[in-house]
Amino acid sequence: MTDCREKGMGAFRTDVARTYDAKPERVFDAWTNQASVKAWLASGEKAIVDARVDGLFYIAMPWKERLFAHYGRYLRLEKPRLIEFTWVSEGTEGKESIVTIELVARGAATELRLSHIGLPTEESAASHKGGWSEFLDGLVERLNEQPAMRAVS
């Protein structure tokens, strides 16, 4: 576990969980495939994804008639069970935080557990919980409309 104080990050966190009617590999791909990330996390706006350890990502997320930049670096990728990356945005006050996504097979379904640590304030943690909850709900639609996703070069 990362000690947020040692890394200069905030002391707050948020956790969100969902279960999807899809195999862990498909859920993992939804988070690491550039076309998929563009569709469901960036709502069709710009997304650049280099899903490899130390690879970078950039996601432009629309909200209230404005685009908010989110970017970070992949720390761990263990297909199909774990994705971990840094997360920097206006909502983190420009400071690095860490998102960990654990995927657990439950028969033909997948349980997703998202933890976001290092957030700067309690308000930021609550706001991120709301945001992640909305995006994870939207992932259901993405998984239903895309039976197989192709890799983007």
What pLDDT digit, counting tens, does each position of 40-56 carry?
A: 999 999 999 999 999 99
Task: Collapse the DSSP code of 138 into the 3-class scheme (helix H, G, I; strand E, B; otherwise coil) and give the result.
Answer: helix
pTM of the entire predicted model = 0.90
Q: At what angle do helices 24-32 and 122-145 cross, to 10 degrees?
A: 110
Distance, first Cα to last Cα, the chain: 33
Residue 151 has a pLDDT of 36
Give whole-number Cα distances, 13 to 4, 54, 65, 80, in Å.
Answer: 10, 23, 27, 24
The answer to whether 121 and 5 are in contact (CB under 8 A) is no
What pLDDT digit, counting tens, does each position of 94-128 carry?
A: 999 999 999 999 999 999 999 999 999 999 999 99
Buried b (16+ CB within 10 A) or exposed e, 73-108: ebbebeebeebbbbbbbebbeebbbbbbbbbeeeee
CATH 3.30.110.30 fits 12-33+74-145, yes or no: no
Q: Is 54 left (phi over 0), alpha (psi -120 to 50) or beta?
A: left
* pLDDT band, residue 150 (cuts 50/70/90): very low
* pLDDT band, residue 5 (cuts 50/70/90): low
- Distance (Å, rounded) from C-alpha 125 to C-alpha 116? 8
